[in-house]
Structure 1
Amino acid sequence: MDRGRRKFILGGTALAAAASLPLLRPEPMGQGGHDDYFAGVSRALHSAGISGPTMVVDLRRLKANAGVLSRHLQGHYDYRIVAKSLPALGLLETVAKQTGTQRIMVFHLPFLQQLAQSQPEADILLGKPFPIAAAESFYKSLPSSGFDPASQLQWLIDSPRRLQQYAELANGLGQRLRINIELDVGLHRGGIGDAQSLTKMLNIIQGESQLQLSGFMGYDAHAAKMPGILGGPEKAIDRGLDIYSQRLAQARQLLGEHFPENPTLNGAGSPTYQLYKGRAGRAPCNELAAGSCLVKPLDFDIPTLEDHVAAAFIASPVLKKLPHTQIPGLEGMTTVMRWLNPNRAQTYFVSGGYWKARPESPKGLSINPIYGRSTNQEMLNASSKVTLAEDDWVFFRPTQSESVFLQFGDIAVYDQGEIVERWPVFSNT
Structure 2
Amino acid sequence: MSQNDNFSPGRRRLLLGAGALTLAGTASWLRPSSADGGHGPYFQGLDDTLRQHGPYQPRLIIDRQRLLANIDLLSQQLAGQFNYRIVTKSLPSLPLLKLVMARTGTRRLMVFHQPFLNQVASALPDADVLLGKPMPVKAARQFYHDLPAASPGGFEPAHQLQWLIDSPERLAQYDQLAAELGLQLRINIEIDVGLHRGGIRAPAELVPMLNHIEQSPRLSFAGFMGYEPHIVKAPGSVTWRRDQAMARYQGFVDQAEQTLGRSIRNLTLNTGGSTTYTLYRDQHERFAANEIAAGSALVKPTDFDLPTLADHQPAAYIATPVLKVVEPPEIPGIPGLGRLMGWWNPNRHKAVFIYGGDWKAVAESPAGLSPNPIYGRSTNQEMLNGSAALALQPDDWVFLRPSQSERVFLAFDGIDSYDGNDRRSHEHWPVLG
For 1:333 and 1:224, locate their aligned partners in 2 and report how far apart those are by CA, in whole Å: 42
Within a 5 Å distance, the mapping from 1:392-411 to structure 2 comes to 392-411=396-415
Q: Is the 8 A contact 1:159 1:197 kept in 2?
A: no
Deviations 1:330-359 (A, max 9, x none): 223343322211111111000000000000
Deviations 1:316-341 (A, max 9, x none): 00000112111112223343322211
- The DSSP-based 3-state class of the residue aligned with 1:377 is coil
Equivalent residue, structure 1, for 2:362 = 358
- Identify the match of residue 102 of structure 1 among 102, 107, 115: 107
AA partner of residue 206 (structure 2) = L
Find out whether 1:26 has 2:41 as its counterpart: no
Q: Is the 8 A contact 1:113 1:143 kept in 2?
A: no
Residues 143-152 or 98-107, more deviating: 143-152
- The DSSP-based 3-state class of the residue aligned with 1:189 is coil
Q: Is the 8 A contact 1:85 1:402 kept in 2?
A: yes
Q: Is the 8 A contact 1:344 1:382 kept in 2?
A: yes
- The DSSP-based 3-state class of the residue aligned with 1:331 is coil
Within a 5 Å distance, the mapping from 1:117-156 to structure 2 comes to 117-144=122-149, 146-156=154-164
AA partner of residue 192 (structure 1) = I
For 1:321 and 1:204, locate their aligned partners in 2 and report how far apart those are by CA, in whole Å: 66
For 1:245 and 1:294, locate their aligned partners in 2 and report how far apart those are by CA, in whole Å: 29
How far does residue 14 in structure 1 lie from its aligned partner after superposition?
6.1
- Identify the match of residue 237 of structure 1 among 227, 239, 242: 242
Find out whether 1:40 has 2:45 as its counterpart: yes
Find out whether 1:158 has 2:155 as its counterpart: no
Q: Is the 8 A contact 2:86 2:110 kept in 1?
A: yes
Find out whether 1:425 has 2:431 as its counterpart: yes
How far does residue 173 in structure 1 lie from its aligned partner after superposition?
1.4
Deviations 1:9-35 (A, max 9, x none): 9966667544543233221112x3111
- The DSSP-based 3-state class of the residue aligned with 1:363 is coil
Q: Is the 8 A contact 2:94 2:432 kept in 1?
A: yes
- The DSSP-based 3-state class of the residue aligned with 2:162 is strand
How far does residue 124 in structure 1 lie from its aligned partner after superposition?
0.3
- The DSSP-based 3-state class of the residue aligned with 1:279 is coil
Find out whether 1:52 has 2:60 as its counterpart: no
For 2:148 and 2:72, locate their aligned partners in 1 and report how far apart those are by CA, in whole Å: 32
Find out whether 1:85 has 2:90 as its counterpart: yes
Equivalent residue, structure 1, for 2:384 = 380
Within a 5 Å distance, the mapping from 1:215-294 to structure 2 comes to 215-227=223-235, 230=236, 232-257=237-262, 262-294=266-298
For 2:243 and 2:426, locate their aligned partners in 1 and report how far apart those are by CA, in whole Å: 44
For 1:23 and 1:273, locate their aligned partners in 2 and report how far apart those are by CA, in whole Å: 41
Find out whether 1:207 has 2:215 as its counterpart: yes
For 2:146 and 2:337, locate their aligned partners in 1 and report how far apart those are by CA, in whole Å: 62
Q: Is the 8 A contact 1:213 1:260 kept in 2?
A: no
How far does residue 238 in structure 1 lie from its aligned partner after superposition?
0.4
Q: Is the 8 A contact 2:229 2:275 kept in 1?
A: yes
- Identify the match of residue 313 of structure 1 among 294, 297, 317: 317
- The DSSP-based 3-state class of the residue aligned with 2:224 is strand
AA partner of residue 66 (structure 2) = R
Equivalenced residue count is 421
For 1:102 and 1:28, locate their aligned partners in 2 and report how far apart those are by CA, in whole Å: 49
Q: Is the 8 A contact 1:104 1:124 kept in 2?
A: yes
Equivalent residue, structure 1, for 2:80 = 75
How far does residue 275 in structure 1 lie from its aligned partner after superposition?
0.3
Equivalent residue, structure 1, for 2:334 = 330
Query: In structure 2, do the counterparts of structure 1 residues 215 and 16 end up closer, same or farther at CA, with 3 Å as the change threshold?
Result: same
TM-score by length of 1: 0.94
Query: In structure 2, do the counterparts of structure 1 residues 261 and 371 end up closer, same or farther at CA, with 3 Å as the change threshold?
Result: closer
Percent identity (aligned): 53
For 1:225 and 1:52, locate their aligned partners in 2 and report how far apart those are by CA, in whole Å: 37
- The DSSP-based 3-state class of the residue aligned with 2:252 is helix
For 1:275 and 1:260, locate their aligned partners in 2 and report how far apart those are by CA, in whole Å: 23
Q: Is the 8 A contact 1:41 1:418 kept in 2?
A: no
Q: Give ranges in structure 2 of 5+ residues lacking alignment.
A: none
- The DSSP-based 3-state class of the residue aligned with 1:135 is helix
How far does residue 196 in structure 1 lie from its aligned partner after superposition?
2.7
AA partner of residue 283 (structure 1) = F
Q: Is the 8 A contact 2:158 2:185 kept in 1?
A: yes
Query: In structure 2, do the counterparts of structure 1 residues 141 and 5 end up closer, same or farther at CA, with 3 Å as the change threshold?
Result: farther
Q: Is the 8 A contact 2:253 2:264 kept in 1?
A: no
Equivalent residue, structure 2, for 1:64 = 69
Equivalent residue, structure 2, for 1:185 = 193
Residues 120-129 or 408-417, more deviating: 408-417
